Structure 1
Amino acid sequence: MTTVAGTGSRGPSGTAYPHIVEQLRTDRGTLGGYVSDASIFRRIPEAVFEPRSLDEVRDALALARERGWPVTVRGGGTSVAGNAIGEGLVIDTSRHFNQVLAIDAEARTARVQPGVLCDALRAAAAPHGLTYGPDPSTHSRCTVGGMIANNACGSHSLAWGTAAANVVELTVLRADGALVTLGKGGTSDPDLDAELLRLRDDNLALLRTGLSRFPRQVSGYGLHHLLPEHGFDTAKAFAGSEGTLGIIVEAVVRLVPVPGAKALAVLAFPEVFDAAAAAPLSRRPGVTTSEGMGGDLLDTLRTSQGPAAGDLLPGGAGDPRPAGGWLYCETTGETAEEARARAEELRAEFSSHPEHRTVDAVVVDDPDEMRQLWRIREAAAGLVTRLPDGGAAWPSWEDSAVPPERLADYLRDLYRLLDEHGLRGIPFGHFGEGCVHIRISFDLGSDAGLRTFRSFMEEAAETVARHGGSLSGEHGDGRARSELLPRMYSPAMLRAFAHVKSIFDPSGTLNPGVLVDPDPVDRGIRPAPGQRHREFVPLHALSRDRGSVVDAVNRCVGVGLCRSDDGAMCPSFQITRDEVHSTRGRARILSELFRGELYPEGTGSEEVKDALDLCLSCRACASECPVNVDMATYKAEFLHQHHKTRRRPMAHYSMGWLPLTSRLLHAVPGAARLVNAALAIKPVEKAVLKLGGVDPSRSMVRFSRRSFQSRAKSTGRQRSERPSRGRVVLWPDSFTNHLDSDIAAAAHAVLSALGYEVVVPGGFVCCGLTWHSTGQLTMAQRVIGRTLGVLEHHLDGTTPVVVLEPSCAAMLADEAPELLPADPRTARLAAQVVTLGDVVAQHTDDPDWPFAELEIPALSQVHCHERSRRGHGGTEAVLARLGVAEAQVETGCCGLAGNWGFEPGHADLSRELGERELLPRIRELDGAAAVLADGYSCRTQIREGLAGSEHEGRQGLHLAQLLRRALRT
C-alpha cells in the first residue's frame, strides 16, 4: 500500500484512512444517482466521496489506490461526453469543496477551490467590476474545476477564450498523491519539468503543426501550450485533460473587466447554413458573441413552453419571411450608445449584404429583453433533447468544431450524413468560432440502433477531420469521442498523448477509458437495450411520452438545471445540495430501477423510495426543466406500485383521505366545533398527530364550523343587482370547503358583485389531489370519476369553473385528463377551469369596477402549482388595478407542499425551505403590507413559521379575501 506522508492513519481493523471510509457513500441510492452525467453513458461507481479539504482529497485518493479503484473527479456533472462518471471512486467537489478563496482585483485574478460554481465566482468578482470570462450555458451549476478539466468555453469565448486561456495557475494532486503547482514557465517539480520538456522537444514540429490550428481545436491534450513561444505553460497544457492527469485542488484564474454597456443584435437568416456562413464576418472588435441556432429549435421551444415562447425572436413562426437560423451577436461599449451603435451596424450590414442577407433582425439593449432572448439560446442544451414531434435526441456528436470559415460547408455535410442514416437533429452553438452543438435522434434502445449510432459516429469523425476540424470544440472527448481520435490525429500525436498520460499517471488510476486507452464509443450506454427490464404500465396516460414511464424518465438528459439556485427547481436540492435530491439524481435512480441491476427488487426498493421521499411534488421541474421532467408524476406512479404489496404509512391515510374525512365530519351537526375544541388541548392534539402518523412538531388542522357547501345551500343562490354576466361554477375544493370556508364565501361575494350567477355544486366533489400526491392513484381515478358524474350537467366546455386552491386547479386541468384519458369529460372540465384572478382580470377595464383602490404593498407567495402550471398573470393584473404594489417570493414552493411537510422526517427541511425567503421577507414587511397566499399549504406554513414570534398575528390572505376587503359597499 502507498501512503502519503502526514495524512491518514491505520485503524484497529488495519484499514487505512478510517475517517474517509466513514464518509464514503456506498448505499445503492447514492450509486444510482451518480451512474451518469449529462451524457448517454452509464457507469456504476464503487463509492462517492464529497471532500471538504485538500487533505481529504489526498486521503481519498490514497484509499482508492489501496483498494485498486480508479478515480473520477466530478463537479456539476454537466459533462455531455461522459467524462464525469467512473466505476471506482467518484470524488464530487461541488457540495463542500467550493469556495472562492481570494479575489485580487489589481491583478485581475481569483483563487478558487475546484467545486466553486461559475456563477458564484462571477458574483464574487462583480463588486470589483470584474467577471470570469468562460460562460457555458450551464453557468448556474457547472463548477470552475470541471470547466478547466473539460476546457469549457461558452458564448463569450469570441472575446475571452476558453477555460484554458483563462488559467493562470493550478495546484494538482498527481495519482501517487504528490502535490504539484503548474503555471507558466514550468511546475514546482523539477523532475516533472524535465520529463515535460523532453516530451516537448522530441515533438516540436508535431505540436506546432498538429495542434491549435484554430481556437476551438480542443480534442486531445493541449500540449502546444508547452511550446517555447507559449512560455512552457504547464497549467494551460493541463487544462482540458478531463481528469486523466491529476486532480485540481486549487486554481488561480484570470478575471476580465465587465463591459460598460451591452446590446444584442439577433440576426435572422433564411437557413441555418446562411447563419453559419455569416458568422465569421461578425467576428470583430466590440462583438463578444456570435451564437447560432437552427430553425427547428423554435418549434421545439414552443412545444415545450407554449405557443408564445420565442416571440421575441425575429423571423419566427407566422412571420411573412420565416427564418431558418439565427445569430446572437452581443456588442459592448463604454456607453450604451456605443454598444447599441455596434449592434445597429451589424443589423444594417447584414440586412443588405450581397451574399449573407438577413430576413429580419432585432436590436435590444434593455437588460430584461436581452435576458429573455438569451434564455432561448441557453435552454437549447435541454430543449433539443426532444424534437418537435416529441421524439428523443441524444448527445455524443455534441461539440464538433471546424475553422469558422468552413462551418457552413461542414454543416451541409453533417446534414447529408444525418439524412443518410435516417437521423435528425437541431444544431446550435458558437458559430463565430466554428463550434456546433447538436442532439441527434439516435435509437439507443435497440441493437440495430446502436449499430447505426456507431456507424454515424465513425463517419462524422471522418467528416469533421476532412474539414480540418476537431471532434470536440469544448467539453472534452470523454467516452463519447476518445475512441475516434485516430480519425483526427496521427499515430505520432497519439503517442505524444499517451506519453504525457504516463508521465502524470503511470498507473492509469485517473479517469481510465478517456483520451488514452479509450472505451469504445458504444460501451455502457444508459438508454440501451435492457433498460426496460422492469418497466411497469403507468396509470397516467403519459401522452407526451407514448404511454411509457421509461420514455418519460429518459426526458432527463442531465443538463442539471435542477442543481441551480436560479428559479424554483429543485427545492430539496437547494437545501441539501445532494445530487440524489436533485431532479436529475432521482431520474437517474428511476432509470436504474427499470434496468433491474442495481435495484433487483424493482418497485419494492426502499432506496428508490428514499430517494423520492424528499421530492415535494412542487412541479417546478415540470415547467422549469428544459425538457419538462415531471418528477411529481413519476413519484406518484412509483408510490402506487411500491405500496401495492406493502403497508402504507399512516400519513397516507390521515392526509390522503382528508377530503373524505372532512366531509364526513361536516355531515354531523356540531361535530367540527367539538373536534376543534378537543384539538385545542395540546396533549389531545399531539396524540391525534401521533395516531395519524403526522410529524408531532406540526399543528393539527382546524375545521370550519360549517362547510362552505352548507353555507351556500342555506343562503341559496345569490343574484347580483348588476346585469348578469352569466353563470360561473364555484368549485368547493376540500380546503376552502372544509378548512377555510371564509375564503370560498369571499369568492362567492366577489363573483356576485361582478354580476355573475354563482353556482356551488352539492355532494362530494374532489379533484383527487391528496390521493394523487400519496400515490393512491386508483382511488384518485375513482374520486375524479365520481366528481365528473356530479358535475355532468355543468360540463359544457364553456362555463367557467372557478377553482380557488391552485393545486386543485392544476389537478383538474392537467392531471385528471392524464389519469382518465378515455373520459372526454376530463378534457371539457380542464378547458373550463379558471382561477379567480383570471375571471376578475377580465373586468379590470370596466367603468363600474366594484372595488376600491387599496394603495398598499403586498408580498405574494405564488403557489408552486400555479407558478408551474397555471400562471399568475390574472392575479398580477387584478392587483395592479387595485393599486397593490406586488412583490413576489422568487424561490417557489413555500416548503410545506401539502401532505409532504406533515409527514414524519420532513418538518425540519420544510421549515428550512420556508426560511429561504418567504418567512424572512414577511418579517421585514411594514404593518400596512398584505401577504398573499392562495394556497392552503402556503398559509399554513406562514402561520406556523410566525407562531410564537412578534409577527404571529400576520396571516396569509387569499386573493378572494383581499378583493372582498376592497368591495365598495
Structure 2
Amino acid sequence: MIPFMFGEEIYEYFKQIKQIFDPNGIFNPGKIVDAPRMNTFLRIDHTKPKREFQTYFNFDNDGGFSNSIEKCNGSGDCRKPQILGGTMCPSYKATLDEKHTTRARANALREIISKSNKGNPFVDEDLMEVFSLCLSCKACKSECPSNVDVTKLKAEFLQHYYDDAGVPFNVWMIGNLNIFNRIGSFAPKFYNFIVKNKVTSSVLKYLLKFEQKRQLPELKEISLKKWDRKHQAARTNRQIYLFADEFTNYFDSDIGVKAILLLEKLGYGVKIAPVGESGRTFFSKGLLKRAKKIAEMNVRNLADLINENTPLLGLEPSAILTFRDEYKEIVSGDLHDSAKNIARHTFLLDEFLANEFEKGQINSNSFTEQSLNIMLHTHCHQKALAGSDALMKVLSIPENYQVEEIKSGCCGMAGSFGFEKDKYDVSMKIGELALFPAVRNAPEDTIIVANGTSCRHQIAEGTSRKALHFVEVLYDAMK
C-alpha cells in the first residue's frame, strides 16, 4: 500500500531513511518498508469454511457466531488506562495484562474454535482462563468501536463448556440464588443467622468458593411481593407494572416499598408484574439453558400486559435491563416479536420518571426545597445500555439538590464476581481505581447514590460508607 499511496520514488526515499537509521532492521521490521502483501498473514484462512455452531443466543444480526467474534478489529480501545475514563475494560485496568482485555478474549475464542479439531472446542482451559476475569459489565458493547459484546460471547462459551465438562457445584448454587432466597424468606431470621454466624457462614462461603472476608447479604424480614399483597393499591388511570426482581424482592424490599409509595404519591397506580426472577444469575454464570426457559416464561406472561400505556419498570439495573437486552436474543422465534415489544416498553424507574418530568406530569413542587449534595455511581449495565442522563435529571428534580457523577468505571463487584475467592483482589483493585477514593473523600454530609445492589455492597465493604438507591433519596425528598 505504501508505494501505491506515495509513489515509487518517495517509497525509495523511505527505504533509504530506514537503512540509515535502522541498518539491521530491528525496529518494526516489515511494517512500512518491505512489508508483505496485504493478502498474506491474514488471521483467517479463507480457503477453509468457517466453523459454525448451534448457539443458545441468536447471532443473526452479526451474521453468525464466528462473525460476531470477527467484529473485533484489534484497535486496542479496551487497553485504556483509568486516566482516560470509561468503563472498558475493568479487568485490564486493574491488572494491565493484555490477557484480560476484550481484544484478547475475542482473539483467543477465534483462534481456538477455528483451529481446534475437537467436537466441542469450547472445552478448553486456556479459554476458561482468558474469560475468568471478565466481569460481564457490558462496557465493551457500548464503548468498543466495533461493539464487540464479550459478555454475550462469554455466556455462550460457558454454556458450551458446561455441556461437556459439567456445571461446577458453586456455579449451580450461585445460579439458583433465587430458589435459596425463596426458601429462606419463610424463616428470614434463621437464614440471616446462617449467613452472619462465623461458623456457618464460613462453611457456606467455602462451598460457594467465596472470599472469607466478604459479608453475605441478608434477607429482609418481609419480601416485596408479600408486602404488596397486604398493601391497598391506589386507584388511578395512570397504571404501571413494577418488576419485583430477585434482588429487590428479597434483599432490598424496603427500597421496593418506597418505590411503590413514591409512585403512588406522584399519582401512579402500581401493580407487581406477574413474573418471578429475571434470570440474571443464570445469564451471568453462563447457564443459558435455564436462562432461556425463564426468559420465555416471562415473555409469555407479559406479552399481553406491557405496552405504551402500561410500561414495565424496574429498580435493579442488571435485572430489568435483561428484558431490554438478552431476552430479544435468546427466546425462540415465535416469541421474538413479543420480546421486542416488551423491550420497547421496559424502563429503569429513573428513565420513566425523567420522561414524565419532561412531559410535565411531575414537577419540583412535590419535593423539598432544602439543599443536598449527591455523589452518584452509575451501574455498569445502565451505563452500557441506558446511560446516566435520566438518573442525573431525576436526582435534580428537587430544586436545590446538586448531583455530581463519580468518574468511575465498574465498581468491581459485578454480582458474584467480587465475592469469589480467586477474584477478590482484582475486585478490590477495580474499586480502588476511582470509586473508593471518590467516596472516601466525599464530605460526610454528601449522600452517595448507587442503584445497583452489588455496587452498594462493594461501596460498604470498600469504604465503610452506606450508599442509597435513588428511590430512597427521592422518597425522602417528597413533601
Q: Same fold (TM over 0.5)?
A: yes
Partner of 1:251: none
Distance, in Å, in 2 between the alignment partners of 1:580 and 1:491 is 37
Q: Does 1:527 align with 2:8?
A: no
Distance, in Å, in 2 between the alignment partners of 1:643 and 1:662 is 25
Distance, in Å, in 2 between the alignment partners of 1:852 and 1:731 is 28
Distance, in Å, in 2 between the alignment partners of 1:500 and 1:597 is 45
Deviation at 1:880, TM superposition (A): 1.6
Distance, in Å, in 1 between the alignment partners of 2:283 and 2:153 is 11
C-alpha distance 848-570 of structure 1, shift in aligned 2 (>3 A): closer
Which of residues 817, 822, 827 is equivalent to 2:340?
Answer: 827
Partner of 2:295: 784
Question: Is this contact kept in 2: 1:730–1:759, CA < 8 A?
Answer: yes
Partner of 1:943: 460
Partner of 2:439: 922
Q: Does 1:956 align with 2:467?
A: yes
Q: What is the DSSP-based 3-state SS (H/G/I as helix, E as strand, rest coil) of the residue aligned with 2:248?
A: helix
TM-score using structure 1 length: 0.46
Deviation at 1:490, TM superposition (A): 9.1
C-alpha distance 491-777 of structure 1, shift in aligned 2 (>3 A): closer
1:626-665 alignment runs, 5 A limit:
626-665=145-184
Question: Is this contact kept in 2: 1:861–1:888, CA < 8 A?
Answer: yes
Tell me the amino acid that sits aligned with residue 918 of structure 1: L
Deviation at 1:530, TM superposition (A): 6.0
Partner of 1:417: none
Distance, in Å, in 1 between the alignment partners of 2:260 and 2:363 is 21
1:901-916 alignment runs, 5 A limit:
901-916=418-433
Partner of 2:262: 750
1:584-595 alignment runs, 5 A limit:
584-595=103-114
C-alpha distance 526-688 of structure 1, shift in aligned 2 (>3 A): same
Of 928-937 and 898-907, the range deviating more from structure 2: 898-907
Question: Is this contact kept in 2: 1:541–1:818, CA < 8 A?
Answer: yes
Tell me the amino acid that sits aligned with residue 715 of structure 1: H
- Structure 1, unmatched stretches of 5+, are 1-396, 401-460, 471-487, 947-951
Which of residues 365, 379, 385 is equivalent to 1:869?
Answer: 385
C-alpha distance 495-894 of structure 1, shift in aligned 2 (>3 A): closer
Distance, in Å, in 2 between the alignment partners of 1:491 and 1:894 is 50
Of 857-866 and 724-733, the range deviating more from structure 2: 724-733
1:35-46 alignment runs, 5 A limit:
none
Q: Does 1:839 align with 2:352?
A: yes
Question: Is this contact kept in 2: 1:726–1:756, CA < 8 A?
Answer: yes
Distance, in Å, in 2 between the alignment partners of 1:491 and 1:919 is 53
Distance, in Å, in 2 between the alignment partners of 1:812 and 1:779 is 15
Of 657-666 and 630-639, the range deviating more from structure 2: 657-666
Deviation at 1:629, TM superposition (A): 1.1
* CA RMSD in angstroms, aligned pairs only: 2.6
Instruction: Provide Cα deviations, 1:859-906, integer angstroms capped at 9, x if missing partner.
Output: 111001101101222221122221321111212211101121122311
Deviation at 1:792, TM superposition (A): 4.0
Deviation at 1:771, TM superposition (A): 0.5
Which of residues 273, 282, 287 is equivalent to 1:761?
Answer: 273
Tell me the amino acid that sits aligned with residue 478 of structure 2: L
Partner of 2:252: 740
Q: What is the DSSP-based 3-state SS (H/G/I as helix, E as strand, rest coil) of the residue aligned with 2:269?
A: strand
Question: Is this contact kept in 2: 1:769–1:811, CA < 8 A?
Answer: yes
Question: Is this contact kept in 2: 1:804–1:934, CA < 8 A?
Answer: yes
Which of residues 220, 224, 234 is equivalent to 1:704?
Answer: 220
Partner of 1:552: 68
1:429-578 alignment runs, 5 A limit:
464=5, 469-470=6-7, 488-489=8-9, 496=16, 500=20, 504-505=23-24, 512-514=29-31, 518-529=35-46, 534-546=51-63, 548-565=64-81, 566=84, 567-578=86-97
Question: Higher strand fraction: Structure 1 or Structure 2?
Answer: 1
Q: What is the DSSP-based 3-state SS (H/G/I as helix, E as strand, rest coil) of the residue aligned with 1:905?
A: helix
Q: Does 1:729 align with 2:248?
A: no
Partner of 1:283: none
Deviation at 1:521, TM superposition (A): 2.8
Question: Is this contact kept in 2: 1:769–1:808, CA < 8 A?
Answer: yes
Deviation at 1:623, TM superposition (A): 0.7
C-alpha distance 678-494 of structure 1, shift in aligned 2 (>3 A): closer
Question: Higher helix fraction: Structure 1 or Structure 2?
Answer: 2
Deviation at 1:493, TM superposition (A): 6.3
Percent identity, aligned pairs only, is 29
Partner of 2:319: 808
Q: What is the DSSP-based 3-state SS (H/G/I as helix, E as strand, rest coil) of the residue aligned with 1:588?
A: helix
Question: Is this contact kept in 1: 2:237–2:269, CA < 8 A?
Answer: yes
Question: Is this contact kept in 2: 1:686–1:696, CA < 8 A?
Answer: yes
Deviation at 1:839, TM superposition (A): 2.2
Partner of 2:409: 892
Question: Is this contact kept in 1: 2:245–2:320, CA < 8 A?
Answer: no
Deviation at 1:580, TM superposition (A): 1.2
TM-score using structure 2 length: 0.91
1:20-59 alignment runs, 5 A limit:
none
Partner of 1:46: none
C-alpha distance 873-512 of structure 1, shift in aligned 2 (>3 A): closer
Distance, in Å, in 2 between the alignment partners of 1:803 and 1:944 is 25
Distance, in Å, in 2 between the alignment partners of 1:499 and 1:627 is 37
C-alpha distance 967-727 of structure 1, shift in aligned 2 (>3 A): same
- Structure 2, unmatched stretches of 5+, are none
Paired residues, what number?
470
Deviation at 1:626, TM superposition (A): 1.3
Question: Is this contact kept in 1: 2:273–2:312, CA < 8 A?
Answer: no
Distance, in Å, in 2 between the alignment partners of 1:916 and 1:525 is 37
Q: Which has the larger radius of gyration?
A: 1
Distance, in Å, in 2 between the alignment partners of 1:873 and 1:493 is 53
C-alpha distance 588-715 of structure 1, shift in aligned 2 (>3 A): same
Deviation at 1:491, TM superposition (A): 10
